[in-house]
Amino acid sequence: MKYAFTLLLALVLPACCLAAPVPPPLDFAHAMQPIPATAAFRDPGYYVWCGTMTRGDDGKYHLYYSRWKVSDGFSAWVTRSEIAHAVGDSPYGPFTFHDVTLPARGKQFWDGLVTHNPTIQRFGKKYYLYYMGVTGDGVLMRDLNWGMRDNQRVGVAVADNPAGPWKRFDHPVIDVSADPSAPDSLCATNPSITQGRDGKFYLLYKAVGRQKPLPFGGPVVHLMAVSDSPTGPFRKDLKPLFTIPGNNFPFEDPFFWFDRQRDRYFVILKDNYGIISGLGHSSLVLYESKDTVNWNKAEHSFVSDLQLQWKDRPTQRVEGLERPQLAFDAAGNAIALLAAIREDEMHSFNVRIPLAVDVPAPVAAGKGQR
């Protein structure tokens, strides 16, 4: 009788009243496809780091990345990085350098000497480029300039078109907390943002406190901030996220989005020491949450190790695979996992790894975003 009643309901109720099928758990490790050679973007004479991509109304794909001169050394990201822009006809390339999107603009500005860590979003009709900015003494050092590292702050630039012009602001959207005991009292960086089920804007960022000895400080944690607007003001929740007891720097490089079909928030993180992946070395892992506050490992938590599976040449093991981001098509499907690749001390590039998995775009229903 119960079966017959269920069948009757299925026959007489309109399709809109029936429960949608539950999508399968995300499994990025098995979704990654062989990488075409054109999906590796290099900028001769420069280190290429980070990488974030959107499709404009012009039908072109716009890639924003961090770059600085190889001759200045890898540690010069904190004193010489600028966010540049390349354009291509396909998400998998080839891409051609177009312009420097956020150049140096004077040490009197909070982001006047360095721009880094770009992540692009389209909310409504405007494009929002979130990034880390730095000012300071500008001294180039063989090792890290710790004074400039500690001046990292999170900001946003806004444009009507992916090619700009971009409006920059005189103040960061995430500054450090004045309380020296706060978990973000030293610096704030690595922003990632999504619009949640409630229409609010949730910004996840990496934070460094002053509890541990300088110059490194720490511990290094992640914090969430929320706003009614993509440009703030943001209200911080100072509860550290993604912590591991006894580990002062377990994760970094978050990419964060809301999945409407699964009604879950997800984040891909760099697992610095392979504690969660079990590899014992740097890797990418996936976490999920119902509320942006309580996070757990996803069912398929492993995303990637340090291997690149090329389409037309042998598998390549690299020194670093970092700064993960996802790119989505106009229909809201994840089409590529972007990552910064460090081959060795002198060579780095951005790669866009094709994905054979449908992942809803990081948007809220009815907001007209993509």
Residue 367 lies in a domain: no
CB 161 within 8 A of CB 56: yes
Read off the pLDDT of each residue in 343-360 and give the average, rounded to a whole number: 87
Least Cα distance to 351 among 118, 28, 42 occurs for: 42
**Residue 328 banded pLDDT, cuts 50, 70, 90:** confident
State the residue range of the domain holding 335.
28-354
Structure tokens at 231: 């440009």
Number of domains, the chain: 1
Query: CA distances (Å), 267 to each of 171, 228, 255, 353, 361, in order?
Result: 27, 21, 5, 17, 13
CB 308 within 8 A of CB 298: no
Residue 15 lies in a domain: no
pTM of the predicted model over 0.85: yes
Distance of CA 174 to the CA centre of its chain: 16
Q: Using the predicted structure, report yes or no on whether residue 199 has a pLDDT greater than 90.
A: yes
The pLDDT value given to residue 362 = 55
CB 83 within 8 A of CB 64: yes
**Residue 358 banded pLDDT, cuts 50, 70, 90:** low
Residue 366 lies in a domain: no
Structure tokens at 46: 């420069």
The pLDDT value given to residue 334 = 85
The pLDDT value given to residue 360 = 52
Residue 182 lies in a domain: yes
pLDDT of 37-53, one tens digit each?
999 999 999 999 999 99
Give dist(CA 132, CA 153) in Å, integer.
5
**Residue 3 banded pLDDT, cuts 50, 70, 90:** very low
Cβ density class 72-110: b for 16+ within 10 Å, e for less: bbebbbbbbbbbbbbbbeebbbebebbeebbebeeeebb
Q: Scan for tokens 């992942």, then name that residue.
A: 359
The pLDDT value given to residue 20 = 62
Read off the pLDDT of each residue in 281-296 and give the average, rounded to a whole number: 97
In the chain, % of residues over pLDDT 90: 86
Write down how long the chain is.
Answer: 370
Q: Using the predicted structure, report yes or no on whether residue 120 has a pLDDT greater than 50.
A: yes
SS3 for 131-160 is EEEECCCCCCCCCCCHHHHCCCEEEEEEEC
Q: Using the predicted structure, report yes or no on whether residue 369 has a pLDDT greater than 70.
A: no
Residue 2 lies in a domain: no
Read off the pLDDT of each residue in 1-23 and give the average, rounded to a whole number: 49
3-class secondary structure, 10:
helix
Residue 19 lies in a domain: no
The pLDDT value given to residue 368 = 34
CB 47 within 8 A of CB 68: yes
Between 140 and 329, the higher pLDDT residue? 140
Residue 370 lies in a domain: no
pLDDT of 257-268, one tens digit each?
999 888 999 999
Give dist(CA 248, CA 31) in Å, integer.
32
Give dist(CA 46, CA 94) in Å, integer.
17
DSSP 270-318: EETTSTTTSSSS-EEEEEEESSSSSEEEEEEEEEE-SEE-BSSS--EE-
Q: Using the predicted structure, report yes or no on whether residue 17 has a pLDDT greater than 60.
A: no
pLDDT of 148-190, one tens digit each?
999 999 999 999 999 999 999 999 999 999 999 999 999 999 9
Provide the mean pLDDT of the chain.
92
CATH assignment at residue 180: 2.115.10.20
Residue 272 lies in a domain: yes
Structure tokens at 65: 């990345």
Read off the pLDDT of each residue in 105-111 and give the average, rounded to a whole number: 98
The pLDDT value given to residue 9 = 38
The pLDDT value given to residue 19 = 59
